[in-house]
Amino acid sequence: MKKTFLTLLCGLLFSLAGNAQTELRTPFYQDKFYVGASFSGFDLNWNQDQKWKMDVAAKAGYLFDDNWMVTANVEYNVRDVAPNTLKAGAGLRYYLEQNGLYIGAGANYAHSKKYDDLLPTVQLGYAFFLNRTVTIEPEIYYNQSLKNHKDYSGVGFRIGFGIYFE
C-alpha cells in the first residue's frame, strides 16, 4: 500500500512539474501565428474637423523569435468629410516580456480617390488574454503622413481582438 501511494505521489509531482514548465513559457514564443481584427472610431485627431469616422482593420502576424512579431495589415477608413481610404502595410511588434504590453512600428500605404500617401506608424498596446489563445487588444497609435502632415497625420485609439495559434 505504501509503495502504491508513494508511486502515485511521485507521478503526481512529476506531472505537475512538467505542467509548470510549459505554463512558465511566455505566450509570445517563436513560430506562433496571429490573426486579428480591430475597430477604431475614436481618433483624437487635432488636424481635421471630422464629425463621423470609422476604421476597420485586419492583421496577420508571425512570431519569428520570442517576443518579436512581423505583421501585415489591411485597413479601411470611412470619413464624412475627407475621402474614404484603403490602407495596406507591414510592421514589427515587440512584446515586453510576458505581461502582454507591446510596442510596434510600421508603415502603411494609403490610397483614396484624391491622394496616395505613405504613413509611418507607431503603436503601444496590451494583449489581454481571455483564454490561452484569444486576446482583447486596446492600442494607442500615431500615423505620420509624409504627404500632408496637417491634414492626414493623427493620434488614435483602437480596440481589437486577436487569436494566437501554432
Q: What is the pLDDT of residues 69-127, one digit of tens each?
A: 999 999 998 877 778 889 999 999 999 977 889 999 999 999 988 889 999 999 999 99
Confidence of residue 11 (pLDDT cuts 50, 70, 90): low
Amino acid identity, position 141: Y
Integer CA distances (angstroms), 108 to 23, 82, 116, 123, in order: 36, 18, 11, 13
pLDDT at 152: 76
Asked if residue 161 lies in contact with residue 128, where contact means CB atoms within 8 angstroms, the answer is no
Residue 20 has pLDDT above 50, yes or no: no
**DSSP result, 41-102:** -----SSS--S-EEEEEEEEEEEEETTEEEEEEEEEEEESSSPPEEEEEEEEEEE-TTSSEE
How large is the average pLDDT for residues 30-39?
A: 93
Confidence of residue 24 (pLDDT cuts 50, 70, 90): low
